[in-house]
């Protein structure tokens, strides 16, 4: 089940929310866990067992880790828990990739069955691991109530594609949270905004990029740049749209999840971009991989090593393919280049130059991310920079520009904070007008859902 579907919006969500609001106190937790199980099992019932095993296993291992005081057994308990979590993640997500890579290395074919990737396995595994790490470091105490931990581990709003919510951030809300119509209204507004991002913008931008990518033969320089611009906007509105819907649903349930995106395309450096994009994942790798490795405290050589390790893992987390590793290493090298070479030049450059520099490098990065084949990546980059292009300008560019110009303009405006600032001002001065805008966005989004084919969220693949 996905948020951007007629069934979820008009059937599952109203019934679930009615039950959730009618039942008293702690019974809400039971409704939330059962509703999350139905939500998760709707598309892949067999993998519900896997999600529940992860929840129960990490619940009991957290209790054990909290109980043990001797450092040596405590560390063994931590390592065992990490290994089991990563083995499950690795088997379902990476075993085919590893066998194919080994076969390519030795020049043989290793047959293996194709396994469907359990939805959200990367997200709930990392979420549960953050809980275990924080117990080990003494930041939190283990949750004694299995039902309460089940709410944290299985909660459907952020299950499929994040954000990666940490137990420490919602510990108090798991015990006691405010559920009222005011918070419900705020949540609905945020959900509608996310739905509009996904259905009105991301899905239509995807059509343009997919058509350009599927073009037989060579494309012009401008067509190649227009295509990757469409994907750049698509992935932002797709993923930030899901995050907004998750945060909005959390508000409806009484939870306050931290933001996952902070207008990343307004960044003035690649470093700033990654402080604004997929914030929950970046902070996870910083706190649980980068800092434990030594961060930037162990000298230049180790700092470079740590950055490259973290970014290779970040790339691999996104998918079982070498293009994701290449994408991660690309960003690792850019971040090192900024820190040791470009920082003083960037700091002195005008803000517009900084933003243009960052945006162009991010667009190039999305080529590595969106195309699995190294040969196809090289060909597309060659088209962008005139090496394998069919000229600078062609009819395809003019066609896609004319047909998508309004969509592109709206996307450029919507990925900056000005629209949201004005909407908030309107909400304070003329709330009825803001409500009418929300209703209009919702009606348009539903019209697209009714008339268009199904488009899953990009980050549900990860």
The pTM score is 0.92
- pLDDT, residue 104, reads 75
State phi, psi for 83 to the nearest 5 degrees.
-60, -45
- pLDDT, residue 235, reads 96
Cα 262 versus chain centre, distance? 13
Q: At 178, list the tokens.
A: 């405010």
Query: How far is it, in rounded angstroms, from Cα 426 to Cα 184?
Result: 19
Query: How far is it, in rounded angstroms, from Cα 438 to Cα 440?
Result: 5
Average pLDDT taken over every residue of the chain: 91
Query: How far is it, in rounded angstroms, from Cα 254 to Cα 257?
Result: 10
- pLDDT, residue 100, reads 78
Query: How far is it, in rounded angstroms, from Cα 122 to Cα 129?
Result: 11
- pLDDT, residue 460, reads 53
| Contact yes or no for 151/32 (Cβ under 8 A) | yes
**Inter-CA distances, 265 with 191, 214, 336, Å:** 21, 26, 20
Instruction: Evaluate the CA torsion angle 213, 216, 222, 224 in order and state its sign.
Output: positive
Q: 216 falls in which pLDDT band (50, 70, 90)?
A: low
Q: 457 falls in which pLDDT band (50, 70, 90)?
A: low
Report pLDDT digits (tens) over 25-78. 889 999 999 999 999 988 778 889 999 999 999 999 999 999 998 989 999 999
Q: 456 falls in which pLDDT band (50, 70, 90)?
A: low
Which positions ≥6 away from 296 have C-beta within 8 Å?
303, 306
Cis amide prior to 163 (ω within 30 degrees)? yes
| Contact yes or no for 457/238 (Cβ under 8 A) | yes
Exposure string (b/e) for 323-356, b if CB count within 10 Å is 16 or more?
bbbbbbbbbbebbbebbeebeeebeebeeeebbe
Better pLDDT: 394 or 231: 231
Query: How far is it, in rounded angstroms, from Cα 330 to Cα 282?
Result: 16
Q: Is 119 left (phi over 0), alpha (psi -120 to 50) or beta?
A: beta
Residue with tokens 């450096």: 269
Catalytic residue positions, numbered: 318
State phi, psi for 460 to the nearest 5 degrees.
-70, -15
Mean pLDDT, to the nearest integer, of 441-455? 84
Length of the chain: 462
Q: 320 falls in which pLDDT band (50, 70, 90)?
A: confident
Residue with tokens 């517009």: 352
Share of the chain above pLDDT 70, in %: 97
Mean pLDDT, to the nearest integer, of 355-375? 96
| Contact yes or no for 255/177 (Cβ under 8 A) | yes
Residue with tokens 């979590």: 85
Report pLDDT digits (tens) over 140-151. 999 999 999 999
Q: Is 107 exposed, middle or buried (0-12, 13-18, 19+ CB in 10 A)?
A: exposed
Query: How far is it, in rounded angstroms, from Cα 330 to Cα 354?
Result: 19
Residue with tokens 């899953």: 456
Q: At 183, list the tokens.
A: 């918070």
Report pLDDT digits (tens) over 73-114. 999 999 999 999 999 999 988 888 888 788 777 777 777 777
Query: How far is it, in rounded angstroms, from Cα 67 to Cα 361?
Result: 48
| Contact yes or no for 170/257 (Cβ under 8 A) | yes
Which positions ≥6 away from 260 have C-beta within 8 Å?
162, 163, 240, 243, 247, 278, 279, 280
Instruction: Give the range among 9-18, 128-137, 178-187, 449-458 with minimum mean pLDDT.
Output: 449-458
Query: How far is it, in rounded angstroms, from Cα 152 to Cα 150?
Result: 5
């Amino acid at each position: 089940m996905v948020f951007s579907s007629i069934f979820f919006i008009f059937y599952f969500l109203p019934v679930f929310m009615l039950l959730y609001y009618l039942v008293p106190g702690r019974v809400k937790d039971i409704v939330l866990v059962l509703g999350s199980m139905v939500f998760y099992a709707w598309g892949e019932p067999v993998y519900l067992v896997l999600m529940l095993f992860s929840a129960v296993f990490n619940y009991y291992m957290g209790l054990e880790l909290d109980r043990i005081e001797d450092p040596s057994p405590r560390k063994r308990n931590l390592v065992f828990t990490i290994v089991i979590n990563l083995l499950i993640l690795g088997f379902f997500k990476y075993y085919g990739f590893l066998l194919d890579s080994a076969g390519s290395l030795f020049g043989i074919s290793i047959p293996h069955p194709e396994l469907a990737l359990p939805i959200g396995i990367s997200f709930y595994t990392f979420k549960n691991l953050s809980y275990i790490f924080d117990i080990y470091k003494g930041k939190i105490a283990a949750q004694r109530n299995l039902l309460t931990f089940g709410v944290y581990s299985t909660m459907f709003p952020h299950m499929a594609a994040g954000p990666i919510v940490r137990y420490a951030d919602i510990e108090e809300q798991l015990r006691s949270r405010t559920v009222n119509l005011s918070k419900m209204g705020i949540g609905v507004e945020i959900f509608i905004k996310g739905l509009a991002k996904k259905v009105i913008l991301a899905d239509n931008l995807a059509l343009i990029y997919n058509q350009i990518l599927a073009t037989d033969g060579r494309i012009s320089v401008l067509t190649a740049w227009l295509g990757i611009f469409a994907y750049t906007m698509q992935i932002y509105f797709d993923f930030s749209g899901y995050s907004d819907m998750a945060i909005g649903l959390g508000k409806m349930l009484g939870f306050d999840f931290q933001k996952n995106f902070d207008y990343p395309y307004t960044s003035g450096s690649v470093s700033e971009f990654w402080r604004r994009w997929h914030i929950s994942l970046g902070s996870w790798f910083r706190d649980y991989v980068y800092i434990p490795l030594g961060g930037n405290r162990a000298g230049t050589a180790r700092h470079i090593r740590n950055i490259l390790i973290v970014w290779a893992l970040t790339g691999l987390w996104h998918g079982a393919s070498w293009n994701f590793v290449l994408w991660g290493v690309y960003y690792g090298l850019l971040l090192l280049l900024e820190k040791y070479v470009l920082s003083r030049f960037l700091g002195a450059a005008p803000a517009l130059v900084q933003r243009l520099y960052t945006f162009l490098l991010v667009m190039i990065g999305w080529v590595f991310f969106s195309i699995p084949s190294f040969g196809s990546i090289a060909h597309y980059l060659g088209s962008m920079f005139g090496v394998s292009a069919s000229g600078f300008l062609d009819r395809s560019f003019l066609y896609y520009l004319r047909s998508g110009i309004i969509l592109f303009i709206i996307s450029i405006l919507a990925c900056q904070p000005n629209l949201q600032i004005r909407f908030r001002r309107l909400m304070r001065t003329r709330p009825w007008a803001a409500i009418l805008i929300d209703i209009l966005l919702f009606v348009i989004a539903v019209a697209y859902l009714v008339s268009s084919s199904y488009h899953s969220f990009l980050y549900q693949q990860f």
